[in-house]
Amino acid sequence: MNIYLKSLYCFLLVTCVGASKMHAQNTPNIIFIFADDMGIGDISSNNGKASTPNLDRLVKEGMQFKDAHTSSSVCTPSRYSVLTGRYNWRTRLANHVFSTPTEAPLIKKDEVTVASFLKDAGYHTACIGKWHLGIGWQSITDYKNKEGQVGNGWNIDYSKPAITPTSNGFDYFFGITASLDMPPYVYIENEYATNIPTVTKAFPRKGAATTDFEAVDCLRDFAEKSVAYIDERAQKDKPFFLYLPLTSPHTPIVPSEKFQGKSSIGNYGDFLMETDWVVGEVLKALDKHGLNENTLVIFSTDNGCSPSAKIPNLIEKGHFPNGNLRGHKADIYEGGHRVPFIVRWPSVVKAGTQTDRLTCLTDFISTCSEIIGRPLDEASGVDGVSFLPTLKDPSIHDREVIVHHSINGSFAIRKGDWKLALCPGSGGWSYPRAGKTPAGMPAVQLFNLSTDLEEQHNLQAKYPEKVKELTKLLQSYVDAGRSTPGKSQQNDRDINIYAEDIAK
């Protein structure tokens, strides 16, 4: 090789390596913290009565989305939509949540998730916390519970590998099967249980548990694992994605001793404070490694506050967990699915900003796609609209329509200020409860949220053309298998846009 060619080769090599490192540095780390059953009024900067200084810090240093929604008002379906950018009701899960430990994984083996998408783009990916999308355990055929073995989870062969989030694009997983009140009570690391259940425990549901598992320890354990993960990845060149779905403040409401009695509103407030503490541990880890500037941190929740928190008692103490919204977890009303959504990314997002952009958590994967400059395939993220333009300019409101879903399978569609619920009541647990609505109530409900955010005035009789317009639009989204421009896709089942399970 002559001197000229050798010099050119060295120049190109250095340039490529430099460009590679520059790309890695300019590609943000992404952390999505996902609380469980927490309403918009549960943050102290939103007038909550329990102190949440770390969430308040995110609000102060980032952007707060004031009109953000989960795709469903309950857990399993919301989690599916966050990770896939696809409405939950397109899946086999027509209503309710996974409630037994042997439910087959809801995310299909070849389905693109945020994790698999980012992993293919060079990210290291981790999930630490509550999964609740189905763990593919291997069962013991014809198992019969022995004496002392009460509840679910005993028919699982915990010595064998399971299908876990590592099958959906995550390089690392540490967490639990489902909600903290659903057995088995055992930690999973990657594909294996960390221990074999030998005792029955109840939190409060009875089921198989390991001797070392205690519900009160989960937040601490998830925080420690998350900090260790950030510490490790801070030493590497490649960007990382951490999905941190917490178990709180969902039941069992079990604040650790350090937080007991710390709030003025009881155990629920104490648990909110401990939830906030986990956020703080993550932020401190980023501070320590100087990762703040180019790390995108998102905090949100899977649905509104649950009645298990004893909402009337909280309101008596001046704490309104779902703000002034109607309804709560499980409902089609705003209190069921309008949630906190805070984004901090100092290199892009102006501190202390707010936006009224209509936003759905299905938008996450499309936003990641635009951030890294890599398009999704036509079958992925079919119900997501990137909110990156809004992060740069909060006045940009580029999403007009969202479809909502309640625990019993009832639909609503929101377009601009108008919201049409295709059911006579809540579709969930608040009055008028699904399947128990008084005779003579209209079959649908139409609200103008610009003048009636509390959803007190049903305008369906006054605006029949609006009812017709929104019904037709919702049906078109069902028929197309997507709600965004692109090639039509297949739903996983036949879908009826009217209440599918009103008997429950």
Residue 3 belongs to a domain: no
| Number of separate domains in the chain | 2
Find all residues with CB under 8 Å of 465, minimum gap 6, and list them.
Answer: none
- Whether residues 73 and 154 share a domain: the answer is yes
Pairing of strands 401-405, 124-130: unpaired
Count CB atoms within 10 A of the CB of residue 484. Answer: 15
- Cα–Cα nearest to 447, from 461, 427, 432: 461
Check if the beta carbon of residue 109 is closer than 8 Å to that of residue 84: no
- Report the C-alpha gap between 171 and 166 in whole angstroms: 6
State both tokens at 36. Answer: 């469980």
Flag whether 57 is in a domain.
Answer: yes
Q: With respect to residue 496, please indicate whether it lies within any of the assigned structural domains.
A: no
pLDDT range class, residue 434, cuts 50, 70, 90: confident
Rounded-to-integer distance, Cα 333 and Cα 461, Å: 19
Find the DSSP H helices in 217-300. Answer: 218-233, 267-288
Strand pairing class (68-69; 359-360): parallel
- Does some domain include residue 90? yes
**159 and 66 belong to one structural domain:** yes
Strands of 322-481, DSSP E: 341-344, 353-355, 359-360, 401-405, 411-415, 418-421, 445-448
Parallel/antiparallel/unpaired status of strands 240-245 and 206-209? unpaired
Report residue 19's pLDDT band, with 50, 70 and 90 as the boundaries.
very low
State mean pLDDT over 165-191.
98
In a shared domain, residues 435 and 292: no
Core vs surface per residue 113-132: b (16+ CB within 10 A) or e: bbbbbbbebebbbbbbbbbb
Label residue 8 by pLDDT band (50, 70, 90).
very low
Show the tokens assigned to 386.
Answer: 């990137």
Contact 162, 191 (CB under 8 A): yes
Helix (H) or strand (E) holding 242: strand 240-245
Residues 143 and 224 in one domain: yes
Question: To the nearest 10°, the Cα dihedral for 63, 67, 73, 79?
Answer: -40
Q: pLDDT (tens digit, 9 = 90+) per residue, 370-420?
A: 999 999 999 999 999 999 999 999 999 999 999 999 999 999 999 999 999
pLDDT tens for each residue of 71-101: 999 999 999 999 999 999 999 999 999 999 9
Q: Which two tokens stand for residue 435?
A: 């399947």
- DSSP strands (E only) in 5-139: 29-35, 63-65, 68-69, 124-130
- Taking the C-alpha atoms of residue 165 and residue 21, their distance in angstroms, rounded to an integer, is 29
Would 384 be classed as within a structural domain? no
Residues 178 and 275 in one domain: yes
Q: How confident is the prediction for the chain on average, in pLDDT? A: 94
Look-up of token digits 């999930």: 127
Query: Residues 322, 453: one domain?
Result: no
461 in any annotated domain: yes
pLDDT at 363: 99
Which residues are CB-contacts of 141 (< 8 A; sequence separation ≥ 6)? none
Name the token pair of 27: 């590609």
Given a cut of 70, whether residue 7 has pLDDT beyond it is no
Residues 95 and 234 in one domain: yes
Verify that 105 and 177 share a domain, yes or no.
yes
Single out the residue in 299, 328, 356 at which a domain terminates.
Answer: 356
What percent of the chain is predicted at pLDDT more than 70? 94
Residue 306 included in any domain: yes
SS3 content of the chain, % helix, strand, coil (to 5): 30, 15, 55
Alpha-carbon distance of 50 to 39, in angstroms, equals 13
Q: Which of 328, 356, 384 is at the close of a domain?
A: 356
pLDDT at 502: 46
Question: In this structure, are 441 and 339 located in the same domain?
Answer: no
pLDDT at 428 over 80: yes
Q: For 317-362, how does the pLDDT look when each residue is reduced to its tens digit (9 = 90+)?
A: 999 999 999 999 999 999 999 999 999 999 999 999 999 999 999 9
pLDDT at 468 over 50: yes
Residues 6 or more apart in contact with residue 291 via CB below 8 angstroms: 29, 230, 234, 285
Residues 266-321 have pLDDT tens digits of 999 999 999 999 999 999 999 999 999 999 999 999 999 999 999 999 999 999 99
Query: With bands split at pLDDT 50, 70 and 90, how would you rate the model's confidence at 132?
Result: very high
Give the CATH number of the domain where residue 160 resides: 3.40.720.10
Q: Are residues 189 and 318 both part of a single domain?
A: yes
Positive or negative, the Cα torsion across 280, 392, 381, 42? positive
Please tell me whether residue 336 adopts helix, strand or coil conformation: helix
Residues forming a β-bridge with 57: none
**Number of neighbours of residue 194 by Cβ within 10 angstroms:** 14
329 with 411, same domain?
A: no
Q: What CA–CA distance (Å, rounded) separates 64 from 61?
A: 10
CATH code (residue 473): 3.30.1120.10
Whether residue 85 contacts residue 353, with contact meaning beta carbons closer than 8 Å, is answered with no
Provide mean pLDDT across the span 151-161. Answer: 97
Domain end point (choices 356, 389, 413):
356
Burial of 144 (0-12, 13-18, 19+ CB in 10 A): exposed
**How far is the C-alpha of 201 from the C-alpha of 187, rounded, in Å?**
14
| Global pTM value | 0.94
Amino acid at 438: P
Check whether 15 has a pLDDT greater than 50.
no
According to DSSP H, which parts of 42-104 are helical?
53-61, 75-84
Q: Would residue 283 count as lying in a domain? A: yes
Q: Who's near 188: CB < 8 A, 6+ residues apart?
A: 135, 162, 164, 173, 174, 175, 176, 177, 194
Domain, as residue range, for 429 = 404-480
% of the chain with per-residue pLDDT over 90: 92
CA–CA separation, 180 and 183 (whole Å): 8
Return the residue matching tokens 């540095």.
Answer: 25
Q: Please, which residues have CB within 8 angstroms of residue 11's CB and are 6 or more apart in sequence?
A: none
The verdict on 130 and 48 lying in the same domain is yes
Please count the other Cβ atoms lying within 10 Å of the Cβ belonging to residue 350.
Answer: 14
Tell me, what's the pLDDT at 501? 53
Q: What was the pLDDT predicted at 5?
A: 43
